[in-house]
Amino acid sequence: MTSLPIELEMLLWSAILYFVQVMLPAVAIDAKEGVAFGLSNRDVTPDSSAWVGRAERAFKNMAEALLPFACLVLVAQASGTTGETSAMGAMVFFFSRLVYAVLYPMGVTGFRSLFWFGGIIGMGMIVFQVL
């Protein structure tokens, strides 16, 4: 992979995942509405399929989780308090969010919430390592 510490590598992959989540519904809407809509001010929200709406909610949810995750990873790195628990926590966060990003647009309910909670657990593991 990279020479980055695992926490920073998972932060990098989480940022890439967020970008993919932003682009997926945008590309789907542009494909449906055409290039002119894609280049417009988008003053009117077009009707979209249910999965596009779920994909948009999933990336908004990722935005809410990514900021605290990034802060925790950066605090752990800057304070020199990283270790096995923070590394595992970062991986739990990323892989939980990855599965969540797939399940939510597919319309899977209940089960996807376990993976949302996995992201919270991953962040908690980093906090535990730092404190």
Cβ contact 72:118 at 8 Å: no
Alpha helix positions (H), 80-110: 84-106
Give percent above pLDDT 70 in the chain: 92
Output the pLDDT for position 28: 82
Task: For residue range 43-69, list pLDDT tens digits in order.
Answer: 666 767 888 889 999 999 999 999 999
d(CA 120, CA 17): 17
Pick from 89, 80, 79, 97: which is nearest to 127 by CA? 89
d(CA 84, CA 107): 34
Q: Look at residue 1 and tell me whether its pLDDT is greater than 60.
A: no
Domain ranges of the chain: 6-40+50-130
**CATH code of domain 6-40+50-130:** 1.20.120.550
